[in-house]
Structures are given as C-alpha cells and as structure tokens.
Structure 1
Amino acid sequence: MKIAIIGASGNAGTRILTEARRRGHEVTAIARHSGPNNGDTGVNWKTADLADPDAITAALAGHEVTILSVPFRTTDFDRALDGIRRSGVGRLLVVGGAASLEVAPGQVLLDTPDFPDFIKPEAEPARQALNRLREEGALDWTFLSPSMMFGPGERTGKFRLGTDTLLTAEDGQSHISYEDYAIALLDEVETPRHSRARFTVGY
C-alpha cells in the first residue's frame, strides 16, 4: 500500500514509519525538513509544510492513505485538510490526543478540574480538530486517540481498543507506547474498522 505520513520525523511519526515499513508498505515521509537517508528504498522523504496546501497536495498525490502526525497547537487544521482533500487521497488517519476522551458520561478529560494548564494549548486544538473532522464530508477519516500517558516504550502488540472513553490499565495508569500505538494505527490502515470515527488504544 502507498502511504504518506505527514510529520514522519516526529516522536509518533517515526514509530509509525517504522511499523509501516515493517509490514512492507511503500511510504512517503513528509516533514518540514529533510529526513534521514538510511538507504531504505521503500521510503521517499519529501519536504513540505502544512502551511502550504499546494505543496502538501503535490506531495500526497498518488497515495492511498494519508497519516497526519503533527502538533495541533501549531497547525492550521482547516488549511491542512484543504491540502489533503485536494490531493485526491480520500483516506485520512489522524494521530489524535487523549484529552477529548470521556472519563465519565458527558465529561471529557480536558474539562476535569485537575487537568494540567500547561497541556491545554495542545489539548484544546486537538479537540477542535476532532470536532472539525466530525463535520467533514469529503474525506474518509479516522482519529486515533492515545491513552493519557503517551511515550517511548516497547512494541508488545498487547493492548486494548476503545471508542470515546479513556482506557485505564489494571495498574491504574492510562498509558500506551508510541510503538504499540503504531501497531494499532497500521492495523486500522490495513483493515479499516473506524471509518469517520474516533477510537482509542491503551493497556
């Protein structure tokens, strides 16, 4: 499958790229700066900025799937969607945030009293991006929210999936590694189960 990853040089993006290549997919890795040349002929690095829809449109043309893995606080999401939409790639998977997940019926994590202020500049735009996708009529989108703690770790392949509720493990923590998140995302790329929907992954 021909997959384009926007933000392929980031923390999650590098793991998603590694997982996609592990499965034999042909990947175009898109970043604002040139990526590494490690001799992998299955990866084509392209330099393009989401702030330039024309450049994004050109970089994405001819692919089957786009994966968007970028910080929401610095992204004009409507402009990004415009470039993706005009590329003709109809399928979009977004690396989302956990803060818009429910922790009780009708209450999302972001709106709880103890939610850290320093995370809100990223968490609120992520929630707005999800709301914007829910109004999207052209793209077949999927928004994958990680658990609350999202960072480097092991590739275990052992995790749970949910929909709109924050997942908590037996140890009381809500966490997922970048590596296992990448597995869940590529599983969705290969076997779509959450068309025009959000889902979540955690231990």
Structure 2
Amino acid sequence: MARIALIGASGQAGTRILKELSDRGHAVTAIARNPEKIAALPNVSAKAGDVADKDALAKLLAGHDAVVSAVRFADCDPRVLIDAVRAAGVKRYLVVGGAGSLEVAPGQRLIDQPDFPQAYRPEAGKGAEFLAVLKQEKELDWTFLSPSAEFVPGERTGKFRLGKDALLVGEQGSRISFEDYAVALVDEIERPAHSRQRFTVGY
C-alpha cells in the first residue's frame, strides 16, 4: 500500500483514478476545491485544496509516497504545482497529461494539425507547456501520461496499448476510456517504468 495525494480528485479523470487507487488498497488524500464532491471510498480522505496556493498545497502533500495531478491545465500553473510537490518533500510526481503534444508523424504534433478542434486548443496548448516545464525539472521523479485523442467515459477493460510520444490509433480511432487510463496510471505508480518520461495509452 502506498500513500498517494491526488489533486483534482473530483474531475472526470480524477474520480476514476481515485476509485482505482482505492480498489487496489492504496491510502489516498483526495484533494479538490470542493471536497464534498469527492466520492466516499475506502482508504480515502477528502481535503479542500487550492492549486494556486503553493504553501497550503505543500502541507497537504507532505508525507505521501507520490503525488498525482489530475487538474485541468487551464486551471493551474505548472510551476506552482511543481514547487508545491518539491516543498512537500515528495519525489514522485505523476501528471494526467493531454494528447495535443503527441506526434502524428515525426516532429508533427497533434495540436499543430489544421483539423485540431479550436475549442480544445487552449487546454492542449497549456498541456504542452506543462510537459515542457517538466522536462526541465531536475529534482522530481516525474511521469506525464498522455491519453489518446478521445478521452471519454467508458469501461474498465484492462486491455490497452502503451506508447511513447506518438499518438496511438486503433480500429476505433485514437481513444481511451477514463477507466482504463486510470488502470495504466496506477500500474505506473505500482511498477514504475517511465521515470522522467512522457508516455501514452490507447486502444
């Protein structure tokens, strides 16, 4: 059992990651702006937290084995989050990434394609910036897990593929359920294989 702090525990990805961690017996401090929205699950302690308040966040994160960030990129500053994890003395930091920075061909990112939806561009751009900041990070043992292009509610099948920096495309296009994404992320917590790397998951 590991002690995990999960920031953004009430969001779409966060709720699935929280359930997966709880189901596997990990002790989770589930952090959200509105903790009353966090599901009541075994081994879960809900806490109110503000991603803009570095010092208060660092206090919440202290004493954990790993921190998972499942916060919308548009709602946070990567440097504040990274500084909070550092200040808390936690070495492992896993980030729920975005698909926009994945490559559709060598050197060609998904976000830069002409048909990339305009509505998703601001969030995807912030996600790419977050990854760029992480790549400069010298202290933390970080991992950035990018979902496939379609990141949607679905089933927990436990069957998926992993990749590195290239967008994964299968018979149903490029997609992954929140539930199977959570499996891949918690697998990475339990059996680290992508230290200081970005990787991706898809069908």
* Distance of 2:192 and 2:83 partners within structure 1: 23
Provide the residue aligned with 1:127 in structure 2.
128
Provide the residue aligned with 2:110 in structure 1.
109
Provide the residue aligned with 2:146 in structure 1.
145
Q: Which range is displaced more, 154-163 or 28-37?
A: 28-37
Q: CA deviation at 1:37?
A: 7.3
* Distance of 1:43 and 1:77 partners within structure 2: 25
Provide the residue aligned with 1:77 in structure 2.
78
Residue by residue over 1:45-96, the C-alpha shift from the partner in whole angstroms, topping out at 9 and shown as x without a partner, is: 1111010001110001100000000010121111111111100011000000
Q: CA deviation at 1:36?
A: 4.8
Runs of 4+ in 1 over 4 A off after TM superposition: 36-39
Provide the residue aligned with 1:200 in structure 2.
200
* Distance of 1:151 and 1:174 partners within structure 2: 11
- How many corresponding residue pairs? 202
Q: Which range is displaced more, 35-44 or 11-20?
A: 35-44
Q: CA deviation at 1:39?
A: 5.4
Q: Cα gap change, 1:41/1:22 in structure 2, threshold over 3 Å: closer, same or farther? A: closer
Q: CA deviation at 1:41?
A: 4.8
Q: Once the two structures are aligned, what percentage of the paired residues are identical?
A: 57
1:12 aligned partner, one-letter code: A
Secondary structure class of the residue paired with 1:21: helix
1:49 aligned partner, one-letter code: D
Q: Cα gap change, 1:41/1:152 in structure 2, threshold over 3 Å: closer, same or farther? A: closer
Secondary structure class of the residue paired with 2:35: coil
Q: CA deviation at 1:40?
A: 3.7
Q: Cα gap change, 1:37/1:186 in structure 2, threshold over 3 Å: closer, same or farther? A: closer
Unaligned runs of 5+ residues in structure 1 are none
Q: Cα gap change, 1:108/1:33 in structure 2, threshold over 3 Å: closer, same or farther? A: same
What TM-score results when the alignment is normalised by the length of structure 2? 0.97
CA RMSD, Structure 1 to Structure 2 (Å): 1.1
What TM-score results when the alignment is normalised by the length of structure 1? 0.97
Q: Which range is displaced more, 70-79 or 20-29?
A: 70-79
